[in-house]
Amino acid sequence: MANVRELMARLGPSTVKFDTGRGGTPDLTNQDIAAALGMVPAGLGRELLEACWWPDGAALRRHKLRDAVIALVTPELRRQQRRLADARTELGLAEVCMGWAGAVTAEQRCERDRAAHRLGQVKAQCWPISTLESLPSLAAAVIGEIAKRPHCHPCEGRGELISAELRVICKGCGGSGVVAVSDRRRAAAVGRDESTYRAKWRGVYEWLLEQMQQAEQEAAWAFMMVVGRNDTEAA
């Protein structure tokens, strides 16, 4: 079966009939495709599947995609803030202990320096403070990349292959289903220059891309399973 994502193009407005099979006998109708899509588990994956491959339908429920992306990002932001707060507290305690009972010792200085170094590391790993306000443009850029990047030919964009009746990760794309995109192109997509993107936004973007791409792939696989079953039953 070809990349099932292409089936969703039939759900958009068109003057061409795509649902006529050999000899004028219908294979999968638009209603079959819509019903199969409805059987994909609700959540981020299905919202991304629609946003990437059936934008007209996704436009009717933008709030669902928004809520799903926010639900994806919020736990990670909270985790980062907890790590940052812990590192700051650790440094504060180290500084308070210095000279508490008299002269500052070398051991206390080492502990303070270690805590300061850890705080610097945690800060460097945290996303920019403006991540939430930039989330709409980041999400739009990621969705655009998922939808427009050339698919890996061996796995037809699925990121997986069937080998000896087992699902295996495609070695050609490493499971991504697509070919690589440059930092320059990603920077332009989020409205940043390349150096700023690399310094501040690459981590956020790549994290979002990995999470959203995985969710979309899982939804596409579920969609393929339902479409394949319906196609077999109709045969």
**In whole angstroms, what is the distance from residue 217 CA to residue 159 CA?**
8
**What pLDDT, on the 0 to 100 scale, is given for residue 230?**
58
Model pTM score: 0.76
Specify whether the CB–CB gap between 206 and 195 falls below 8 A: no
**CA distances (Å), origin 110, targets 91, 95, 118, 227:** 11, 11, 12, 62
**If phi over 0 gives left and psi between -120 and 50 gives alpha, with beta otherwise, what is residue 175?**
left
- CA 93, 96, 97: angle at the middle one, nearest 5? 90
**CA distances (Å), origin 190, targets 7, 48, 142, 148, 198:** 29, 18, 9, 15, 12
**What pLDDT, on the 0 to 100 scale, is given for residue 14?**
54
**In whole angstroms, what is the distance from residue 179 CA to residue 175 CA?**
10
Phi (first) and psi of residue 48, to 5 degrees: -70, -40
**CA distances (Å), origin 14, targets 10, 39, 89, 193:** 8, 24, 60, 38
Q: Which long-range contacts (CB under 8 A, 24 or more apart) does 107-115 make?
A: 115/87, 115/90, 115/91
**If phi over 0 gives left and psi between -120 and 50 gives alpha, with beta otherwise, what is residue 192?**
beta
Helix (H) and strand (E) counts in the chain: 9, 2
Averaged pLDDT, groups of 10, the chain, 235 residues long: 64 52 54 76 88 77 91 97 97 91 89 97 95 95 87 78 82 76 94 95 96 90 77 46
**What pLDDT, on the 0 to 100 scale, is given for residue 153?**
77
**What pLDDT, on the 0 to 100 scale, is given for residue 229?**
66
Specify whether the CB–CB gap between 28 and 226 falls below 8 A: no
Specify whether the CB–CB gap between 182 and 87 falls below 8 A: no
